Amino acid sequence: MSKIAFVFPGQGSQTVGMGKDLAEKYPEVMSYFKKADESLKVPLSQLIFEGPKEDLTLTINTQPALLTTSLAVLSFFQNSGVKPDFVAGHSLGEYTALVAAGVMSFEEGVYAVRKRGEFMENAVPNGEGSMAAVLGLDRVKLAAVTEEVTNGGNPVALANLNCPGQIVISGSKKGIEDAGAKAKEAGAKRVLPLEVSGPFHSPLMKPASGQLREVLDGIDMKDAEVPVVANVSAEPVTSAAEIKDKLIEQLYSPVLWEDSVQKMIELGVDTFIEIGPGKVLSGLIKKIDKTVKIFSVSDEESSLAVIDALKEEKL
């Protein structure tokens, strides 16, 4: 039996103007952007639709902006009646998945990620943390590199295990520099510094975990209506209590994206639909398994095209 997974993007997929055409044409889509403005008491929709890009890319803005846009696109796409068997999201996208699965309301989700972005930005002084993508080195060899550098006094860790041959490391600025050099010595093809404001998904984020728990404790989280594949375990979860614990852990633990996709495939998923701006996750999934069907939904045209494709396959 064919199974479908909805997947939601994380930071890096944002663009100025995302969701604007759909929102201007459909009031039910625009309502998400209006609710975000009301919940956060900031003109987030204006920033999403008009920029400037520099402000949109600030973590504190990017996180609620992506969650809002992805769920607004989902609201239009779901009118087709397509239902997922599993949901998952990359880092921030996990919160989008949780709203889609009924674990928290949209208003609670957009507030939670706004606070999450704030805590992440404040956890490490600006300029002291960094991240880099390492291409062409397997996780065992790279883990050995990060362990050696960390033991030398400059903390660095695996942060995003995205797909075969693409792993992001995160940590102190010196740790990233040293690990990058050692990774090349160990056989990495390239090491690409990332434009981020902090060492996300590394142990350096632990100071933010207590603050995030306080925010999540204030949310009436419900058991998931659809299994959510958690970033930190690559296992499906439905229990609200377990989901909350895993969200705290996610802050300072690696995103096991490759493992999560493999787990969903093991559980029968053969169709992945990326919902929200960009096609980052679609590209990663293609590198993980070329045999599965992958669709991207970001606007009216792509939504209708995917709905037609699914109808033809009678999914």
Catalytic residue among 39, 45, 70, 91: 91
Q: Residues 6 or more apart from 214 whose CB is under 8 A from it?
A: none
Strand order from edge to edge, sheet including 86-89: 236-237, 228-229, 86-89, 3-8, 269-275, 293-297
For strand 3-8 and strand 86-89, is the pairing parallel, antiparallel, or unpaired?
parallel
Cβ(230)–Cβ(246) under 8 Å? Answer: yes
Cα distance between residue 278 and residue 149, in whole Å: 34
- Is 201 designated active site? yes
Q: Which two tokens stand for residue 164?
A: 């075969």
Q: Indicate which residue of 170, 172, 201, 202 is catalytic.
A: 201
Residue 289: Cβ-neighbour burial (10 angstroms; 0-12, 13-18, 19+) = middle
The two tokens of residue 136 are: 């062409």
**Would you mind telling me the total number of residues written for the chain in this entry?**
315
Q: Are 62 and 278 in contact (CB under 8 A)?
A: no
Q: For residue 253, which amino acid is it?
A: S
Catalytic residue IDs:
91, 201
